[in-house]
Amino acid sequence: MRDEASEEGEKEVSPRERFRVEVRPVPQEETAVLVLVGELDRDTVDPLREALAERLGAGRIVLDCSALGFCDSSGLNTLLRARLRMREAGGRLELVGIRRPVARMFEITGARAVFRVYETLDEALSERGREGGGIHGREG
C-alpha cells in the first residue's frame, strides 16, 4: 500500500538527510566548533549526541546554529544536558547564530538565559579566553 506522499512523487527524507553536524577546524586548540545544519528533532538528534560525546574533553564547544532551521524539545534537552556535562568537566558549551524559529524555542523555555550566545562565529572565537561575553547567558 502506497501513502499519499509517494503517490505525489515526494520522496521521504531520512533523518540523516534532514540534519547533520559539520566539524569546523579552528586555530584554538581547546575549542571545538560544530555547525548544526537542518532540523534537530527526536529523529535526528543522534548525530549531535555523538559529536558532543566525542568532544567532551574540549575546554570549549561552540555550536554554530546559523544553519539550524528547527529545534524541538528533544534537541533542546540534548543541548541542555551537554551544557551540564561540559560544566561538570570544567568546560563550556556556547551557541552562535540562533535564528527564528529556533530562537523562539529558546526564548519560550527560558533556555537562552543559561547559554552564552553570540551573533557570529567570529565574535565567539574572539571571546575565547574571556569570562562572560555573548549577548545573553549567565555562565557561572
Determine the Cα–Cα distance for residues 33 and 95; give it in Å rounded to an integer.
10
Query: Which residue ranges in the chain fall short of pLDDT 70?
Result: 1-10, 128-140
Q: What is the pLDDT of residue 29?
A: 86
Q: Report pLDDT digits (tens) over 60-86.
A: 999 999 999 999 999 999 999 999 999
Q: What is the pLDDT of residue 56?
A: 87
pTM of the model: 0.82
Backbone angles phi, psi at 87, to 5 degrees: -60, -45
